[in-house]
Amino acid sequence: MFDDRYTLANKIYPYEKSPDQDLPDAVRHPVVIVGGGPIGVATALDLGQQGIPVLVLDDHEGIGMGSRAICFAKRCLEIADRYGCGEPMLDKGVVWNLGKVFHRDDKVFEFNLLPEQGHKYPAFINLQQPYFEEYMIDRLRHLQAEGAPIQLRGKNRVDAVAVKGDHVVLDVMTPDGAYQVEADWLVACDGASSPLRDMLGQDFTGKVFEDSFLIADIRLKGDVSFPTERWFWFEPSHGEGASMLLHKQPDDVWRVDFQIGWDVDRKHELKEKNIRRRLDAFLGGVEYDMVWSSIYTFQCKRMDSFRHGPVFFAGDAAHQVSPFGARGANSGMQDVDNLGWKLGLVIKGQAPDALLDSYSVERVHGADENILNSTRSTDFITPKSEISKIFRDAVLTLAGKARFARPLVNSGRLSVPCVYDGLPLNGPDRLTGGPARTRVGAPMVDAPVDGAWLLEKLGGEFQLLTIDADAPELLDVDGIPVRRVALSAVGNPELADRYLGDGPSAVYLMRPDQHVAARWDHYDPAAVRAALNTATARA
Amino acid sequence: MTSLNMDPNIAQPDDFYARLLAAHEGKSKAESDAINARLILILANHIGDTPVLLEALDLAAEA
């Protein structure tokens, strides 16, 4: 019928024939998601939690093998928490704070992420991608059991798509043959080589980087261990890579990443004896088992627009970056966070279609930020010209003895959440002396409140966060409810520091994705109404 | 806002120039390139002022 393109780690959603396949006419679904990877499943969780029927089509029957993405950032985990699956990720993940940078075997310097206290989630966890996906699918099954209208169909491959004005028609292939599915809205989460993007004739433009990286996941034998730190080597003297990364994962697995150049024979390099040759050069006499290996190349590209009529692109299908800095899956999760509530409001008739254009505007902004950062890291790690290598080496040589050069060392600028500065959905920022980190457009910053966490109280709906300020418990702004979350900063220095300005009170209007829509020092009903209408494209 | 100082600012220009050449004496092309790159980074950090640095970059690139 059709073959798997990759080996599965866990056949978690085997093919089952759907009754739709035997009906004479195509069944129309409000939302169809193509792709059962982390971004597709997250989209299903977001919409499913809102009670919106979603159908996920995936051309495989489960989670792909291999650690792949291993670094999940704080904002990504906070989004997963809103979907009800952040905690198992944190429990399983490895938390790290210390990074060390080496040049030709000498330690140049080390850095500490210096975690700020008062957050539910750390700056990063390392976790093999299959676990990340498994916890999300567990959550999806749990929601289904509670009656959420989510369907996940394995071995359902989309072979053709036709956009028919206000809906799309999909030709879907299954082991029982072809059938058609219609959708009011289609979300393409089908990965970096997105077949849907090609079927719709959309360009994917940017830079291809001419380098390859060999990943080897290994489990050390005996009493040997390394500290739980991120170690990065530029030009290691063993010569088995122009750069190398060592990073810990759960289950005592270590990720080793070798930069091996552009003109490589993949098949040759992936032979176990050749991988072991590189590993042995690095590890000396240490014994280890091989867990997984792969070679990857990458590009920094994006689509011009992430919306094409009733079709949205999210995750790697919309944008691809180098892996340095953990901006792939992490930014895809921010796409979903952004799209979910907008699509929900439009489907429920509470906001106009124009709100959906803001998905592309805001997430293109996010993608450009990620592409910029990851391109800069790539230019440092793999210098493209003689002179860029001369400057790179000069930075590394100086960094050992001169503090000023250390901030120039770029072994990946680690993903921080995107702030939608200056974009059309933003309302006024009228909190005098308000902290920059919680300015309009920023995601809310976590803080401890009443023995729990602030972010656990937020999201999924518009809310009015009042800190030592009065406001009605529930507002109805032309059909959209706005619930008050009343807090006090008295005796809570973290909350005061992160949310108060010069005065004693603050009022924040928050979007369902936990981003700040507007803020003031007191409650003003007309201002809140206007800001909510701006944030929903109704103004 | 400070701008790039285009006036002579080095007290003993001949002495400085001789020291600059001396730093490169007996060095290979690769070693000299590395010294120059480090020197640029050291001086740029000492200046620190972004508009001044950008003006200097423009002046150097157009020369």
pLDDT in tens, chain A (539 residues): 578 888 999 999 999 999 999 999 999 999 999 999 999 999 999 999 999 999 999 999 999 998 889 999 999 999 999 999 999 999 999 999 899 999 998 999 898 887 899 999 999 999 999 999 999 999 999 999 999 999 999 999 999 999 999 999 999 999 999 999 999 999 999 999 999 999 999 999 998 888 899 999 999 988 877 889 999 999 999 999 999 999 999 999 999 999 999 999 999 999 999 999 999 999 888 899 999 999 998 889 999 999 999 999 999 999 998 887 788 889 999 999 999 999 999 999 999 999 999 999 999 999 999 999 988 998 999 898 999 999 999 999 999 999 999 999 999 888 888 999 999 999 999 999 999 999 999 999 999 999 999 999 999 999 999 999 999 999 999 999 999 999 999 999 999 999 999 999 999 999 999 999 999 999 999 999 999 999 999 98
Q: A408–B41: do the CB atoms touch at under 8 Å?
A: yes
Min Cα distance B9 → chain A (Å) is 24
Read off the CATH number of the domain in which A476 is found: 3.40.30.120
Domain assignment present for residue A70? The answer is yes
In the block, tokens 């979350």 appear at A485
Indicate the helix (H) or strand (E) that contains A64: strand A63-64
B57 and A CB contact within 8 Å? no
Say whether both A356 and A472 belong to one domain: no
| Domain endpoint, select from A370, A385, A405 | A370
What pLDDT score does A265 carry? 95
Count of alpha carbons within 13 Å of A537, Cβ hemisphere only? 19
Domain assignment present for residue A218? The answer is no
Read off the CATH number of the domain in which A57 is found: 3.50.50.60
Domain assignment present for residue A259? The answer is no
Domain assignment present for residue A157? The answer is yes
Total domains in the fold of chain A? 2
The answer for residues whose C-beta is within 8 angstroms of residue A526's C-beta and 6 or more apart is none
Alpha carbons A338 and A332: distance in angstroms, whole number: 10
Set of chain B residues whose Cβ sits within 8 Å of the Cβ of A394: 34, 37-38, 40-41
Q: A394–B45: do the CB atoms touch at under 8 Å?
A: no
What pLDDT score does B56 carry? 97
What pLDDT score does A528 carry? 98
B60 and A CB contact within 8 Å? no
Domain assignment present for residue A74? The answer is yes
Domain assignment present for residue A60? The answer is yes
A405 and B CB contact within 8 Å? yes
Q: B37–A391: do the CB atoms touch at under 8 Å?
A: yes
Domain assignment present for residue A289? The answer is no
Set of chain B residues whose Cβ sits within 8 Å of the Cβ of A404: 42, 45
B41 and A CB contact within 8 Å? yes
Set of chain A residues whose Cβ sits within 8 Å of the Cβ of B45: 404-405
Nearest CA-CA partner of A427 in A500, A507, A486 = A507
Say whether both A58 and A145 belong to one domain: yes
Say whether both A513 and A364 belong to one domain: no
Min Cα distance A405 → chain B (Å) is 8
Say whether both A450 and A361 belong to one domain: no
Alpha carbons A150 and A526: distance in angstroms, whole number: 38
Q: By residue range, what is the domain housing residue A500?
A: 429-535
Say whether both A356 and A443 belong to one domain: no
What are the residues facing A517 on neighbouring strands?
A: none
A224 and B CB contact within 8 Å? no
| Domain endpoint, select from A370, A387, A416 | A370
Domain assignment present for residue A380? The answer is no
Say whether both A321 and A446 belong to one domain: no
Say whether both A177 and A55 belong to one domain: yes
Say whether both A189 and A318 belong to one domain: yes
Residue A158 tokens read as 């989309």
Torsion angle defined by CA atoms of residues A470, A471, A472 and A473, in that order, rounded to the nearest 10 degrees: -80
Say whether both A365 and A434 belong to one domain: no
What pLDDT score does B1 carry? 63
Nearest CB neighbour to A405, from listed B33, B34, B41: B41
CA angle A363–A317–A266, rounded 5-degree value: 130
Chain pair A-B, CB pairs under 8 angstroms: 26
Say whether both A54 and A152 belong to one domain: yes
Nearest CA-CA partner of A154 in A20, A15, A33 = A15
